[in-house]
Structure 1
């Protein structure tokens, strides 16, 4: 029964993403309570993409999010590609998030605008990603920093 509900959920999300104009490839798996909102930004998702529960991917405010192939995102994670313009008191400052192929993002991670996460890197649970992360590293913390090379 759970598989039927999950399949219905994924059919709903594929339709919703198509209506928003989000570009995505095959094998998209979103767990319940996750939300992808393109708004006036742009989102592109590669093959074999999966999220756990309660993931928010938001490019509204003119931002851009590009996610490569074979990317997995843990529960309660937020990707937000625009910031509020605190100098003006309203509006947004658009940014860009790029997540390369084979990245794994743990639970409760926040990825902020103008970040590039390199291929086959792992972002540890609870991290706040404010700067670029190179390829093939384990990165953790607030702010998120590489702690180990992946061989």
Structure 2
């Protein structure tokens, strides 16, 4: 009985946050929900954090695995401690692995996979697997 109530609560939390049906599998946080546009059939897992100080667009059927973070604002330490912010765009059918971090001005192309624990500092082309810190190309996904 408790599991059904918890499931219902998480789905209501997802709808209240995004004004759209998303599949929620645990508690998550969004800094500014008004700055997030999310597609249909998306899945959000435990401890996902979406900063959303700028603008984040998430396509259809995207999976955000446990503890991943979408950080669209921060400091550029290499560039003299300048503040940097920019959009994050996640196209359709993308899977972001557990603990991955996606930084500002990044586009994750359609159907790509970001490996667990990766730090994505640059855009990822469609249909590719990227992993590591910083995330690097591993292989193309065969269709």
Q: TM-score, normalised by structure 2?
A: 0.87
**Structure 1 partner of 2:26:** 32
SS in structure 2 opposite 1:8?
Answer: helix
Q: Which runs of 5+ in 1 are unaligned?
A: 19-24
CA–CA distance in structure 1, aligned partners of residues 44 and 141 of structure 2 = 22
Residue 89 of structure 2: aligned partner = 98
Structure 1 stretches (4+) deviating beyond 4 angstroms? 84-90
**Which residue does the alignment assign to 1:110?**
101
Report deviation, 1:17: 3.8
Q: Which runs of 5+ in 2 are unaligned?
A: none
Distance 1:123 1:114 in 2: 16
Q: How big is the shift at 1:138?
A: 0.9
Partner of 2:134: 143
For residue 3 of structure 1, give the secondary structure of its aligned residue in structure 2.
Answer: helix
Q: 1:66 — aligned with what?
A: 57
Q: Which residue of 1 aligns with 2:14?
A: 13
Alignment of 1:46 onto 2:17: no
CA shift for structure 1 position 94 = 2.6
Whether the aligned pair in 1 keeps the contact of 2:38 and 2:58 (CA below 8 Å) is: yes
Range moving further from structure 2, 2-11 or 50-59: 2-11
Cα root mean square deviation, aligned: 2.3
1:8 positional shift:
1.6
Q: How far has the Cα of 1:88 moved from its partner?
A: 9.7
Q: What is the Cα deviation at residue 93 of structure 1?
A: 3.5
